[in-house]
Structure 1
């Protein structure tokens, strides 16, 4: 859809397609932001075509590398971060302002997300993402098929790191294409930089936790959720959108966005913890049980250890020590038996209630309030 048509539409509420009913978040995204997602995808495709062509002129091999990076960006995804940023913007500015001036900024968040995903997959040694081989696995397979020298896995990991780095640079370049006042863009950039710093902080704590899981805790697992996921998935995108609209960081609406975003973002990660153990691989696009297989100290696993009997705790502390598929399935049952799954479900519900309470008192445009209310539930009660 052309950008002018998107702007004129102003993303009015429309009913979800029947095919979306089995996936709550897709249904809500379809209902409120179908045209936004199409516009973001078009913006990314146009931007990437130009960037890939420029790198191809350096060397044909560079063109192939850049094209692989572009495929990582465009290969599925719900565009959650641009969606929250959009409603953060609309909640301040209303429904009349055209979208095209800020569309590059919203779309840049998806490039930042790809950077984080590709690097995260290398760190976690994940084999699949969105139902496809992860970047490092796909590149390793290409290396082996071509008969090149060296270790294919090492080559794949090295190239995936570079893909992530390139996506980070691309995000900066696309953000700079937003046509807003320079002073406002500087404020947006400050918000964006804080989001990136917090993402790295959360990722470091995530890596540290895997190497020191015996000394980890529920509080530290929640801190990882806050900085690795909540910040750059919901909280900062909302504030990023508010900055694009000219809102001050201390404004009441910004405060409400921060409260809402932290609560929904933490609940989003808690749902990921559950899906990482009990999700359907056909829906999530990732094998079930990966977190237990590597002994990742998620809030779910930390709660299970806290609630477990001595015998159960002994079994749970062995998670990650060469755990095979059968043992992973047994550990998943054990985690549920401790009551940790039910506790995490309550924590998700409590955070959604906190988010909705933040919206109740917020001076926000009403369509944005309705959309964010639906997204709070959809983003935290999804199947993928």
Structure 2
């Protein structure tokens, strides 16, 4: 029997590979023209990623008493692995929304399909074709996520118990994405707006609901689920705050995205909100202008990104974000201890919390 606890990422990849093959083969036979889209989704899902969401879900299941040696363990693995397809949908669509050129060091899906169009000298706009293809491939990922979850092999009553978490997660991530573009469009640079996006788009979707889903698959009591939601909420925000720092200060060779991309895309992060607020409070008009002018500037140079970095450090925004990451991680771990999970779930989730908040990619 596979050691799911030890080899979880490879086991997740195994069931994803099997599902993507089974899901893709019928449509390839019916319509071969769709083959490149199926290949693009498979390559995107299997070509990288930290598998965080299914990992949190798995340890939510284990912490609520799930037995990796039981007959249902394989079905649970398939159910939680389906989260990677929702993640694929979110990332592919996010790259279209943000006009991102690269992801994990490779062209984004819409850019790759635009190049495909241009190389073949097809009719119309390559960019419009690329965007349309990416939207449809993201939609395919979302549809297949539902198929993989529903066809996991778990009992209908088990799946029904996890449906509230599944439904909430899908709705919350879309609400978070909309709130993200809304804050960019309205120019809301407040810390409160940034934290609302972090709670919905990252915390709920990346940590809270996966934990909820896994625990619900094990039939967990409401008290345990509440403690996991508290843990996941604080940890998820800390995770996003680390992501915000990496979006400005990260090494592109490690993060897989160009330095300063969050600035160019106009993301209204807590880091930038604090930078603007602190600069204004300290009367540092030069630093405030450097930060404000950089947000949403698609022509931002590397030297200008360096100027923003220096300004954010000088006014104290970076130190404050680091302090909040530390504080949120501490309150998250206190909630985890309150959950009194079956071991080794608490130890593994503690390790995940450390990795999520101290990572470099």
TM-score normalised over the length of structure 2? 0.95
Stretches of structure 1 lacking an aligned partner (at least 5 in a row): 12-32
Q: Deviations over 1:29-86 (max 9, x none)?
A: xxxx4x1111111111111112221111122111221111111111111101000000
Alignment match, 2:92? 118
Offset at 1:324?
A: 2.0
CA distance in 1, matches of 2:205, 2:118: 35
Alignment match, 1:29? none
Alignment match, 1:355? 332
Alignment match, 1:314? 289
Alignment match, 1:278? 249
**1:383 is aligned to 2:332:** no
Offset at 1:107?
A: 0.9
CA distance in 2, matches of 1:154, 1:334: 38
Counterpart of 1:51 (choices 18, 23, 26) is 23
Map 1:29-44; keep pairs closer than 5 Å: 33=6, 35-44=7-16
CA distance in 2, matches of 1:220, 1:202: 11
User: Considering only aligned residues, what root-mean-square deviation do their CA atoms show, in Å?
Assistant: 1.4
CA distance in 1, matches of 2:275, 2:213: 36
Offset at 1:191?
A: 0.9
C-alpha contact (below 8 Å) 1:293/1:328 kept by paired residues: no
Q: Relative to 1, partners in 2 of residues 1:298 and 1:381: Cα closer, same or farther, differing over 3 Å?
A: same
Counterpart of 1:160 (choices 129, 134, 147) is 134
Alignment match, 1:240? 213
**1:302 is aligned to 2:273:** yes
Counterpart of 2:39 (choices 44, 49, 67) is 67
CA distance in 2, matches of 1:81, 1:94: 17
TM-score normalised over the length of structure 1? 0.89
**1:331 is aligned to 2:308:** yes
Q: Deviations over 1:200-236 (max 9, x none)?
A: 11101110111122x3310110110110011111110
C-alpha contact (below 8 Å) 1:191/1:240 kept by paired residues: yes
Decide which moves more: 296-305 or 96-105: 96-105
**1:262 is aligned to 2:236:** no
Aligned length: 353
CA distance in 2, matches of 1:362, 1:238: 12
Q: Deviations over 1:118-173 (max 9, x none)?
A: 00011111111111111111111111111211111111111000010000000000
**1:204 is aligned to 2:178:** yes
C-alpha contact (below 8 Å) 1:304/1:338 kept by paired residues: yes
What SS class does the counterpart of residue 339 from structure 2 fall into? coil
C-alpha contact (below 8 Å) 2:165/2:212 kept by paired residues: yes
Decide which moves more: 54-63 or 271-280: 54-63
CA distance in 2, matches of 1:351, 1:301: 19
CA distance in 1, matches of 2:239, 2:127: 31
CA distance in 2, matches of 1:366, 1:53: 40
**1:149 is aligned to 2:123:** yes
Q: Deviations over 1:78-137 (max 9, x none)?
A: 101000000000001244535212121111000000000000011111111111111111
Alignment match, 1:343? 320
What SS class does the counterpart of residue 184 from structure 2 fall into? helix
Map 1:101-112; keep pairs closer than 5 Å: 101-112=75-86
CA distance in 2, matches of 1:292, 1:148: 34
Alignment match, 1:20? none
What SS class does the counterpart of residue 340 from structure 2 fall into? coil
C-alpha contact (below 8 Å) 1:292/1:331 kept by paired residues: no
Stretches of structure 2 lacking an aligned partner (at least 5 in a row): none
